[in-house]
Structures are given as structure tokens and as C-alpha cells.
Structure 1
């Protein structure tokens, strides 16, 4: 029986640029780097050490060539934060493209774009640290 989400695969055009975005702009940490020495490499990132769920950055073109039937589109990810205003100010100061903060029944939320124009969302949720 499935008990948790372990890893989320994000397919990107430029893995190095994506690592820079997620570490420098979003504050994530590189957990591991793997390279099979045959052109396939992946980078595992997480917002904190020992996070239950991590993001794996894969080379979009390589994966699409290896598995043409695979959907390499960007997943819709929703991150949680304890202070949406502080994070919004921080990302804005780092020149990250952000949408406006809106109030939803489940909390205040805004979206942001990575360096490749993929959009993700972040919601204020003090119960999900």
C-alpha cells in the first residue's frame, strides 16, 4: 500500500540552470547527483535535509527520446509555507516571476515561475511544516 510520495520527476531543458534556480532562488538543497556515464544524469533536490518528498530534475529531451510515450510536461506542484508574505517578498527581491497573492478557502496562495517558465504554486499553511 502506498504511504507517501517519495519523489517528483521534473523534466527540464537545462538541468544546471534549473539547479541554480531551485537552490539560489527557492532555497532548496541538492541531496544527490547521479550520472550513469552514458549521458543520463539526475539531480535530487529538497527544501530541507531529510524531506519526505524530493524533486528529481531530469533532462527533458533525453527522457523524451528514451521514452516517447512518457508525458514530460511540468507537473502542477503546490508547496506549503508558514509565511506567504515573507516568501513573496523574498522571491520578488530575487527577481522570480510571481503572481499576486490570492485568498482561497484553504489559505492564501500565489504562483511563481522557474527559469524555464514553468509555473508552480505556494500556499500559506502553518499546519504543514
Structure 2
């Protein structure tokens, strides 16, 4: 016997309001929109055409159903939206001014935040953990241009370290100072994947550090853990 849950109803007060929000804010698509009678439509939406699961948009038909709009689970998170690009989806939520109820955090299962749709339903946005061998390692050797700036460079590197460690995709950022040459610093980094590393390279605080023109890039390489 091959069974699967194909769809779940989400109670709303207006079909078009729901379609507008889920397609323009969350970038879902309408799989079906069929008129059944003067007051009822069969509306199915999903993240994409390949999705095996869809939401059936159901307009509340009586006062009891209207009380369930936005609170079908008694205040708990109702729906769980998985993604393979948490940062991009998070930025989209901010851009579209969607209410973030709980800010991003890292749990044992992956990255997660909670947002609220236009009806009040709570959603988890989740990027599940990937295989450990996806981790991206990077080493950089930096040379202070002016010896008088060694202490200033150390201070600015520690600021950069603090910001980088707060990045969702960062797993490690270590600073080492050479015993043989105090003007030489070695940076060891590890990110969840190459995408997270590339995102770090465009971060404002890294760009601001480089603009200080305190160091020159001596050597850098990436590596794979064995």
C-alpha cells in the first residue's frame, strides 16, 4: 500500500487575498483555481510544480470556521517550509516586510526561523543540516603593511572575528599570530558550505576591514577535511 498526504486545508477569509500573499510574498504558485459555485473555489498552491504537497486554500463558510483563521493549531507553528537557501529566503521575507516572529537560529537539525503570514498562521522556515563533508575550509595568510599597525590590525581582526562568528553559515574563525614574524597573521575558517563562504566574502564588515588597508594577502587556500 502506497499512501501519502497530498494536501492540507488552510482556512482564510478571502481567496484572492491568500493567492496574492502566497504568490507575491512567498513566491508560491497556483496549481489550481476552479470555481465550484458562487461562494466556493478549489484553490491549490505550492512552492513549485515539483512539490508533492500542496495547500488547499479554504474560505471560511461560517462563524465557527472564521474563528479558526490564523490559529488552526492553537498558537503553535502550523506549517513547515524547507529550503536549500536559508539566507536568500530570509532576505526575501525581510524585503517583502513579512513579520518575523523568531529570528534565525541554529538548532540540532538545521537553521530555522518563525514567520507569520497575512492571516496570522505561524510558519517555520528550515534549512536542514547537510552532510558534514559539505563543510568548506579556508586558510589565509596576511601580512601587516606597517609594523606600527600590528596592534591595530590585531584589534580589527578580532572585530572581524566577532562578526563572522555570528554568521549563520560560519562554523569556525580562528586568528593566529606567527611566533617568527609578529606582523604575520594566519586565519583559519570553516563554513557549512561554499555558498556560505562566498556570502561571507561579500559581507560589509569584511569589506570594511579590507578598506582599512592594514594588510596584504600573502597566500590563501581551501582544503577538504580527511
* TM, length-normalised to structure 1: 0.83
Q: What is the Cα deviation at residue 15 of structure 1?
A: 1.8
Q: What is the Cα deviation at residue 126 of structure 1?
A: 6.5
Q: Mind listing any 5+ residue stretches in structure 2 that lack a counterpart?
A: 131-226
* Equivalent residue runs for 1:46-57 within 5 Å: 46-57=46-57
Distance 1:112 1:21 in 2: 13
Distance 2:16 2:58 in 1: 10
Indicate the structure with greater helix content.
2
- Cα deviation, 1:47-98, whole Å, max 9, x if unaligned, reads 11132101110012x1x46x87xx7743511110012111101110111111
The number of equivalent residue pairs is 122
Does 2:13 correspond to 1:13? yes
Q: Which has the larger radius of gyration?
A: 2
Residue 109 of structure 2 contacts residue 129 of structure 2 at CA under 8 Å; is this kept in 1? no
* Greater RCO (Cα-Cα under 8 Å, separation 6 or more): 1
Q: What is the Cα deviation at residue 125 of structure 1?
A: 2.3
Q: For 1:110, which of 109, 113, 138 is the aligned residue?
A: 113
Distance 1:93 1:32 in 2: 27
Distance 2:112 2:6 in 1: 24
Q: What is the Cα deviation at residue 13 of structure 1?
A: 1.4
Q: For 1:101, which of 68, 89, 104 is the aligned residue?
A: 104
- Cα root mean square deviation, aligned: 2.2
